[in-house]
Amino acid sequence: MNSHGGAPSRGKPATLRQVAELAGVSTATASKALNGRQQVSATTRQRVLDAADRLSFTPNSLAQAMLHGSSGTVGLLTHDLEGRFSIPILMGAEDAFGAGQTSVFLCDSREDAIRERHHIRALLGRRVDGLIVVGSQTNPRRSLGHDLPVPVVYVYAPSSDERDTSVIADNVAAGRLAVQHLVGIGRRRIAHIAGDPTYAAARDREAGIGAALADAGLTQVGPSRSGSWSEAWGRTGAHAVLEAGEPVDAIVCDSDQIARGALDLLRDRGVRVPGDIAVISFDNWGPFATGSRPQLTSIDFNFQQMGRRAAELIFAALAGEPAAGTQAIAPRLVIRGSTTVGA
Amino acid sequence: MNSHGGAPSRGKPATLRQVAELAGVSTATASKALNGRQQVSATTRQRVLDAADRLSFTPNSLAQAMLHGSSGTVGLLTHDLEGRFSIPILMGAEDAFGAGQTSVFLCDSREDAIRERHHIRALLGRRVDGLIVVGSQTNPRRSLGHDLPVPVVYVYAPSSDERDTSVIADNVAAGRLAVQHLVGIGRRRIAHIAGDPTYAAARDREAGIGAALADAGLTQVGPSRSGSWSEAWGRTGAHAVLEAGEPVDAIVCDSDQIARGALDLLRDRGVRVPGDIAVISFDNWGPFATGSRPQLTSIDFNFQQMGRRAAELIFAALAGEPAAGTQAIAPRLVIRGSTTVGA
DNA sequence: TAGGGTACCGAAAAGGGTTTCGGTCCTTTC
DNA sequence: GAAAGGACCGAAACCCTTTTCGGTACCCTA
């Protein structure tokens, strides 16, 4: 770690006192020298810097935190077992906080309320400056309450309490975006294989799809068929769409996994994609979207941006400008082979 | 947070001093009362507890850490963008540390050495008790060096320095396990579609497969065909296996994604799985392994257990019993429909 | 009633860093 | 030569909790 080696640095890390002693000054002077304050002569400063380097001195953030009043840490609470959302969101937050400035505690509550409370206690004990709560469903989740001493931002799954601050994916816009793309490439007979109808995500996407179809003067082919988020349902749903007999030239699938299932069945039936039927889906989950034949055009929900926004909202709240309510992050269309031949 | 509400708890969290003041005792007594020490009368203790509850008091772990000398935190360094490994490993570590006892800082270095150094500086500044370094490849990675003041454990990707402590997946055992299962269900003509040959994982699995075949007195059908970790390669590889002309009744695929590609092609060619050819793969990546038709029999590398072991090794090192060298975690066979009809 | 014992409580220091404020020493100017 | 000013440095307080150790008050016994 230290640039020009030779330091012992075994055992306990060096303290400012040791640096000061080695440099032959007081801790006050050493502190000022290291922090670029103006009360130190150039020669003294250099002596301190050399001493700090020799000892591989790293200021103890715990002590700094106690003085400054803020710890420079944030807690990220999740119960997302697969880590599908949490990692991108965490990376976005890291970006916004500035790497090295703020560190993030990641805790997985595993859908367990007791474990969650446990983690919150621990995080508050460590005096985190804020809390980011990531849900794995889009459904609103129970609020942590308002008696917490730090700002809380809910991400992906909004808080059921409107007075809280939430950042969510804009599923309605995503639904519109999907249909607009299909219409843009000339499709007119659009069907929809939905996910689990108990999820707000499924309902919102359906609403967006309906609105965009209406805007284009079109009517959806068949009902939105609800099922689960699985590939198996994608196969079943696509089967139902074909069996209904109505001609179809595009299918919107509520997730990449559903789309994979649908592609699978269409291939079995000899239906060409995108020639006969274009397929578009949501999530843009890397390996799923790019592993298929053809690759999936998909709507990306910009998780990283959601994390960034969450961090910004925590900053704002700390600065005394809380922003209650729910903010939606705009999704992004990623075009691949399942809707266009060229791509 | 506080059980019977009514507390203000806005602004800065309460301090022990405030609790003591409210209870009419000194901070020393308050501390003893809250920590169950024996130097306090029952009535005084109760008064302190009531005061603490009224103020939603949470002891400041930062101050405790400064006294105790250890922060009760651990840094987990990753550059695993998809979070495929990191989250299970983190959960395993949480388990071993005991939820609430130890909190984990998660940092993503994004394959960037500068960012990595940055994060390490920050973590050491926060006086983490240990460091867990998770690699996304199985290839050995550059050591962080030995001049760090805390124990370091490398997970998944071992350190290239033998004096470091590493926990890795046992890819050789995994290869053996796959073949043993196939042999156990009566397969004798086994082919292998390998992953990227620059990965140690691919080489080790190949070694394990070879060893188990030899043990069973069998010879592999065709060479191990190397490619990438993608579904596309799985299709290409399976095509090559069929085109080679030699009869085959089982294929080992180096990842679930490769297996998905292989399944895809076999289905195109009208080959029945597992009737004509059984397929087995590695990783047991949930949605990939269970989304296919049939579902994939796969070797699970027990990431969670790797995290647990890493935590234990850090504990041991802190207790003065460092365990240099590399430890391999035994994999686990998960049987599904791609090798057995019943399952 | 005095002495010893016990139970309980509080003052103080420690842990590492930052900041304020007072002090020292050197330089400059009249 | 003396006073004023400036540049630099250090003592001490502070953040919050824990722990040691000394002290007080009370009770019991002789």
Q: Give A42-75 pLDDT, tens digit per residue.
A: 999 999 999 999 999 999 999 999 998 899 999 9
- At residue A342, the pLDDT reads 65
List strand D contacts in A 9-48 (CB < 7 A).
24-29, 39-44
- At residue B343, the pLDDT reads 46
- At residue A4, the pLDDT reads 35
Query: Using the beta-carbon criterion (under 8 Å), do A104 and B106 form an inter-chain contact?
Result: yes
Nearest to B126 by CA among B141, B99, B105: B105
Greatest Cα pair distance, chain A, in angstroms, is 89
Q: What is the DSSP string of B257-324?
A: HHHHHHHHHHHHTT--TTTT-EEEEES--HHHHHHSSSPPEEEE--HHHHHHHHHHHHHHHHTT----
| Class of the CATH domain delimited by B171-300 | alpha beta
CA-to-CA dists, residue A80 to A6, A157, B79, B286, angstroms: 45, 11, 18, 13
Say how far apart CA B71 and CA B61 lie, in whole Å: 8
Please report residues of B whose CB lies closer than 8 A to that of A69: 12
Please report residues of A whose CB lies closer than 8 A to that of B94: 107-108
Out of A45-49, A106-110, A136-140, B1-5, pick the least confident.
B1-5
Under the banding of pLDDT at 50, 70 and 90, the label for residue A139 is confident
- At residue B8, the pLDDT reads 34
| Shortest distance, CA A300 to any CA of chain B (angstroms) | 15
| Shortest distance, CA B217 to any CA of chain A (angstroms) | 36
What tens digit of pLDDT does each residue of A196-227 get?
Answer: 999 999 999 999 999 999 999 999 999 999 99
Strand partners, A106: A76
Nearest nucleotide to A29, CA against C1' atoms: D9
Say how far apart CA B97 and CA A6 lie, in whole Å: 34
Tokens of B257: 């994604």
- At residue A111, the pLDDT reads 85
Inter-chain Cβ pairs, chain A and chain B, closer than 8 A: 195
Nearest to B1 by CA among A317, A143, A311: A143
Residue B225 has what DSSP assignment?
B
Say how far apart CA A227 and CA A195 lie, in whole Å: 5
Task: Report the residue of chain A nearest B72, measured CA to CA.
Answer: A126
Please report residues of A whose CB lies closer than 8 A to that of B227: none
- At residue B87, the pLDDT reads 87
What tens digit of pLDDT does each residue of A6-34 get?
Answer: 333 346 889 999 999 999 999 999 999 99
Nearest to A234 by CA among A275, A201, A267, A199: A267
Q: How many Cβ atoms are within 10 Å of B245's Cβ, its own excluded?
A: 8
Q: What is the DSSP string of B139-203?
A: S-B----S--SS-EEEESSPBSSTTSEEEEE-HHHHHHHHHHHHHHTT---EEEE---TTSHHHH
Tokens of B259: 């297996």
Task: Judge contact between A287 and B257, C-beta under 8 A.
Answer: yes
List strand D contacts in A 92-131 (CB < 7 A).
none
Task: Judge contact between B322 and B151, C-beta under 8 A.
Answer: yes
CA-to-CA dists, residue B82 to A88, A99, A269, angstroms: 8, 19, 33
Taking 50 as the pLDDT cut, the residues of chain B under it are 1-10, 343
Tokens of A252: 């919107």
Q: Is the CB of B29 under 7 A from strand C?
A: yes
| Shortest distance, CA B305 to any CA of chain A (angstroms) | 15
Q: Is the CB of B34 under 7 A from strand D?
A: yes
Say how far apart CA A192 and CA A180 lie, in whole Å: 14
3-state SS, residue B112: coil
Task: Judge contact between B58 and B12, C-beta under 8 A.
Answer: no
Nearest nucleotide to A65, CA against C1' atoms: D15
Amino acid in position B58:
T
| Shortest distance, CA A35 to any CA of chain B (angstroms) | 15
Please report residues of A whose CB lies closer than 8 A to that of B103: 105, 107, 122-123, 126
What tens digit of pLDDT does each residue of A271-313 get?
Answer: 999 999 999 999 999 899 999 989 999 999 999 999 999 999 9
pLDDT of A82 higher than 80: no
Q: Is the CB of B3 under 7 A from strand C?
A: no
* Domain positions in chain A: 16-59, 71-169+303-330, 171-301
Nearest CB among A65, A81, A83 relative to B86 is that of A83
User: CA B41, C1' C7: Å apart?
Assistant: 8
Looking at domain A16-59, its CATH architecture is Orthogonal Bundle (1.10)
CATH of A71-169+303-330, one of 3.30.1050.10, 3.40.50.300, 3.40.50.2300, 3.40.50.11540: 3.40.50.2300
| Shortest distance, CA B256 to any CA of chain A (angstroms) | 11
Q: Which residues touch B155 (CB under 8 Å, ≥6 apart)?
A: B85, B89, B132, B133, B134, B135, B166, B167, B168, B306, B307, B310
pLDDT of A1 higher than 70: no
Q: Is the CB of B63 under 7 A from strand D?
A: yes
- At residue A99, the pLDDT reads 66
List strand D contacts in A 47-86 (CB < 7 A).
63, 66-67, 69
Q: Is the CB of B260 under 7 A from strand D?
A: no
Q: Which residues touch B24 (CB under 8 Å, ≥6 apart)?
A: B47
Say how far apart CA B76 and CA B84 lie, in whole Å: 14
List strand C contacts in B 46-65 (CB < 7 A).
63
- At residue B99, the pLDDT reads 66
D strand bases under 7 Å from protein CB: 7-12, 14-21
- How many CA atoms, within 13 angstroms, populate the side-chain half-sphere of residue A170? 15
Distance of CA A41 to the CA centre of its chain: 47
Nearest nucleotide to B20, CA against C1' atoms: C10
Q: Which residues touch B136 (CB under 8 Å, ≥6 apart)?
A: B78, B79, B80, B81, B84, B85, B156, B157
C strand bases under 7 Å from protein CB: 7-12, 14-21
Task: Judge contact between A288 and A296, C-beta under 8 A.
Answer: yes
What tens digit of pLDDT does each residue of B7-49 get?
Answer: 333 478 899 999 999 999 999 999 999 999 888 999 999 999 9
* Measured distance between the N- and C-terminal CA atoms of chain B, rounded to whole angstroms: 46
Whether A71-169+303-330 shares its CATH topology with A171-301 is answered: yes
- At residue A7, the pLDDT reads 35
Q: Which of A54, A61, A90, A308 to mutate to test the interface with B (most CBs of B within 10 A)?
A: A61
Nearest nucleotide to A13, CA against C1' atoms: C16
- At residue B3, the pLDDT reads 35
Distance of CA B194 to the CA centre of its chain: 23
Q: What is the CATH number of domain A171-301?
A: 3.40.50.2300
- How many CA atoms, within 13 angstroms, populate the side-chain half-sphere of residue B76? 29
Say how far apart CA A202 and CA A175 lie, in whole Å: 10
Task: Report the residue of chain B nearest A123, measured CA to CA.
Answer: B103
- At residue B97, the pLDDT reads 86
User: CA B14, C1' D22: Å apart?
Assistant: 29
Please report residues of B whose CB lies closer than 8 A to that of A268: 267
Query: Using the beta-carbon criterion (under 8 Å), do A83 and B81 form an inter-chain contact?
Result: no
Task: Report the residue of chain A nearest B263, measured CA to CA.
Answer: A264
Say how far apart CA A326 and CA A155 lie, in whole Å: 9
CATH superfamily label, B70-169+303-330: Response regulator (3.40.50.2300)
- How many CA atoms, within 13 angstroms, populate the side-chain half-sphere of residue A27? 6
Backbone angles phi, psi at A215, to 5 degrees: -55, -40
Nearest CB among A1, A73, A82 relative to B147 is that of A1
Query: Using the beta-carbon criterion (under 8 Å), do B100 and A122 form an inter-chain contact?
Result: yes
- At residue B98, the pLDDT reads 79
